[in-house]
Structure 1
Amino acid sequence: MSIIEAIIFGIVQGLTEFLPISSTAHIVITQLILGTPFPGLTFEIYLHIASVFAVMIYFRKDLIEVIIGFFSYFKTRSKKNRIQFFFGIYILIATVITGVLGMLLKDFVGDSMKTPPYIAGALIVTGLGLIFIERVHQYGARTEKDMNFFDAIVVGLGQTLAVLPGISRSGATLITALLVGLERDTAVRYSFLLVIPVILGSTVLAVGDVSSEIFAAIGTPALIVSFITTFIFSWIGIVWLIDFLKRSKLIYFAIYCFAAAIFVYFFLDATTIIDI
């Protein structure tokens, strides 16, 4: 892999990982436009780790607060620790649901779901979900102290949909979190913190599939550049999304999803089976 290709893949992965527009769809679009096959699961996991580092550093205060509150609750049953304890539980519940159902559905994703027309359809579904939550469903006012087990189950089920190529993980979690009545800031924070155990867990489960040959084929310089690029643009994506949602609406992401779906459907070879 050339340095330029490593930078491009890093930019695409970093920016789209946390925006509700499907990073998988954009990786597919990128590799088909460049004519460069994405190097497979090993490289995808590698880039996801860079994205997770960006989330962990950006939300380090929130993460530390949840971890300390979670374990402190066993000693000090204070109200603050109770909120963080259950917030941690809700993160774990959604993660377990996603992990278990994700493994069960993995074999369900056949080659017919790895084609441009299917991915275009999934992008449209994501866009419709964003429009529904923005235009039809009224925003709630519940924060993390008001969350319950039902919220975690629904968000976990929503996050599981991301196993389908073209369905945005961040979009699915954000839509379902807003659907159960969480206020926007809490929904965004919950969605971002959820990505940490999900990606770390999938990384552990996929260790057996990691191939050193792929890393050797990509080359050390390209690996370093792609990792750094993904980290930087993941950070940019996080900052931009949080700032954007404070002053604008999700419907703009829906419009973008529709535009991307049109491009994928009409301009990419419909017979191509993507290795994702």
Structure 2
Amino acid sequence: MSVWEAIILGVVQGLTEFLPVSSSGHLVLFGQLFGLEEPNLTFDVMVHLGTLIAVVAALWDEVALLFTGLQPVGEGPGAERVKAGRRLIFLLIIGTLPAGIVGFLARDFIEQLFSSVSVVGAALLVTGGLLWWAEGRLEGSRTMDKMRPKDALHIGIWQILALVPGISRSGTTISAGLSRKLTREDAARFSFLLSVPVIAGAVVLQAGDLVNALNQGTWGPILLGTVAAALSGFAAIRGLINLVKRYSLRVFSYYTWAVGIIVLILTHFLH
């Protein structure tokens, strides 16, 4: 993979990770339909690491609360904040477990899906349908501090769908949050926070492959792609938080449907 290919794919990852259009699906599409080298799972994990950096920077208040939750409870005015941090950690753990378990057990099968453009095309159609359905529900008024464990579990079960390239992780989790009557902004914020344990877990699982890649001298393009993903991801997070408060997510349904149909036409009728 050349330096420019890595940067392009990193930018694509950063923008699409937090927009409900499927980052993994777009990486596959750009790699195969536009002649770029097919991104392997190691590169995919590293650019996801870049988006993790973006989450920490863009949602520092929430991330700081998570760190606070790791401290002893104690007494005094800070005790309530520690409890709030622990509660948020607990919710993220519950929301992470379903996809984490399925992803670990079906790792080889999921990796095979990354080579199929047809799967991406069909999955993009599903993503559009999920977003359309979620927007049809009444807007909720619940914030993250009102979430219950069963809300986090509900969102986590939906996140299993996003293991398929082409089905958006942010799209499914935001849709699930809206279905639990969260506010639009808090559904997006919890979705972004939920990416933290997901990405960290993926990095741990791929640690061996990552070391091999760096030993082979391919660290340059990988690191540049990671930086590109971090910068573009930060911009995407800030942009989407403002967008969901003012506009419908159905605009992304139109986009994913259009791209999905075009992909299926190209793969089934022109090849």
1:228 maps onto 2:227 in alignment: yes
3-state DSSP class of the match of 2:245? helix
Checking the alignment, whether the CA contact within 8 Å between 1:67 and 1:88 is kept in structure 2 is no
Conservation of the 8 A alpha-carbon contact between 1:177 and 1:187: yes
In structure 2, the partner of 1:68 is: 68
| Alignment of structure 1 residues 176-255 onto 2, 5 Å | 176-210=176-210, 212-213=212-213, 216=216, 218=218, 220=220, 222-255=221-254
- The change in CA–CA distance for 1:31 and 1:146 in structure 2 (over 3 A counts) is same
Q: Which residue of 2 aligns with 1:89?
A: 90
Residues 121 and 75 of structure 1, relative CA distance in 2, 3 Å threshold: farther
Q: 1:112 to 1:39 in 2, by over 3 A?
A: closer
Distance change (3 Å), C-alpha of 1:144 and 1:252: same
Question: Is the contact made by 2:125 and 2:260 (CA closer than 8 Å) also made in structure 1?
Answer: yes
Is 1:121 aligned to residue 119 of structure 2? no
CA contact (8 A) 2:91 2:149 kept: yes
> Residues 218-254 of structure 1: CA distance to partner in whole angstroms, max 9, x if unpaired?
462x334322211111111111111211221100011
What residue number does 2:47 align with?
47
Gaps of 5+ in 1: none
How far does residue 146 in structure 1 lie from its aligned partner after superposition?
Answer: 1.6
Counterparts of 1:224 and 1:128, CA distance in 2: 35
What amino acid does structure 2 have at the position aligned with 1:241? L
Check 1:46–1:140 CA distance in 2 against 1; reply closer, same or farther (3 A cut).
same
Identity fraction in percent: 33
- Listed one character per residue, the Cα deviations across residues 45-82 of structure 1 (whole Å, up to 9, x for unaligned) are 11111110111111112111233145354656955543
Q: CA RMSD in A?
A: 2.5
Letter in 1 for 2:249: L
Q: Is the 8 Å Cα contact of residues 140 and 178 (structure 1) preserved in structure 2?
A: yes
Structure 2 length as normaliser, TM-score? 0.90
What does residue 13 of structure 2 align with? 13
The residue that corresponds to 1:131 in the other structure is: 132
Structure 1 length normalisation: TM-score? 0.88
CA displacement 1:134-192 (0-9 Å, x = unmatched):
02x11211112221111011111111211112111111111111111111121111111
Q: In 2, distance between residues paired with 1:215 and 1:20?
A: 35
CA shift, 1:117, in A, is 2.4
Compared with structure 1, are the counterparts of its residues 33 and 114 closer, same or farther at alpha carbon in structure 2 (3 Å cutoff)?
A: closer
- Specify whether residues 270 and 128 from structure 1 end up closer, same or farther in structure 2 by C-alpha distance, changes over 3 A only: same
Q: Which amino acid aligns with 1:96?
A: L
Residue 262 (structure 1) shift:
1.3
Q: Which moved more, 1:186-195 or 1:96-105?
A: 96-105
Aligned residues: 270
Q: 1:67 to 1:217 in 2, by over 3 A?
A: closer
8 A Cα contact 2:11 2:232, kept in partner: yes
Rounded Cα–Cα distance in structure 2 between residues aligned with 1:51 and 1:97: 21
Partner of 1:260: 259
Counterpart in 2 of 1:157? 157
User: Structure 2: any 5+ residue segments left out of the alignment?
Assistant: none
Question: 1:148 corresponds to which residue?
Answer: 148
Name the aligned partner's letter for residue 206 of structure 1: Q
Distance 2:201 2:111 in 1: 23
SS at match of 1:247: coil
Which amino acid in 1 is paired with 2:89?
Answer: G
1:141 touches 1:182 (CA, 8 Å); kept in 2? yes
Q: Which moved more, 1:19-28 or 1:98-107?
A: 98-107
